[in-house]
Amino acid sequence: MKFKSYDINIKYIKELLELKDFEINSMEFEDAFKLDNRNYFQYYISLLKYNHPLMFAFGTYNDYNSRMIKIFLFFFSFSSDLTINALFFNDDTMHKIYKDRGKFDLLFQIPQILYSTLISRFIDTLIKTLALSQDNIIELKKEKRKNYIKKKYLRILKNFRIKTIFFFIISFIILSCFWYYVTCFCGIYVNTQTHLIKDCIISLLTSFIYPFGIILIPGLFRIPALRMKNPCLYKFSSFLENYLA
User: Each residue of 58-74: pLDDT tens digit?
Assistant: 876 767 788 888 889 89
Is residue 216 packed enough to be buried (19+ CB in 10 Å), middle (13-18) or exposed (0-12)? middle
95-114 pLDDT, tens digit each = 677 777 767 777 777 888 88
Count CA atoms within 13 Å of residue 35 on its CB side.
14
Query: Sign of dihedral through CA atoms 162, 163, 169, 173?
Result: positive
| H-assigned helices in 59-192 | 67-87, 91-99, 106-131, 134-141, 146-188
CA distances from 116 to 129, 164, 174, 196, 203 (A): 20, 27, 16, 12, 7
Q: Where are the domains of the chain?
A: 53-214
Percentage of the chain beyond pLDDT 70 is 86
3-14 pLDDT, tens digit each = 444 444 545 444
Helix (H, G, I), strand (E, B) or coil at 182: helix
146-159 pLDDT, tens digit each = 676 777 778 878 88
Helix (H, G, I), strand (E, B) or coil at 1: coil
Short-list 17, 9, 13, 30, CA closest to 138: 17
How does residue 221 score in pLDDT terms, banded at 50, 70 and 90? Answer: very high
pLDDT higher than threshold 80 for residue 143: no
177-215 pLDDT, tens digit each = 999 999 998 888 887 888 888 888 888 888 889 889 999
CA 48 to chain centre: 10
If you ran DSSP here, which 8-state letter would residue 191 be given?
Answer: G
Short-list 38, 42, 59, CA closest to 50: 59
pTM: 0.77
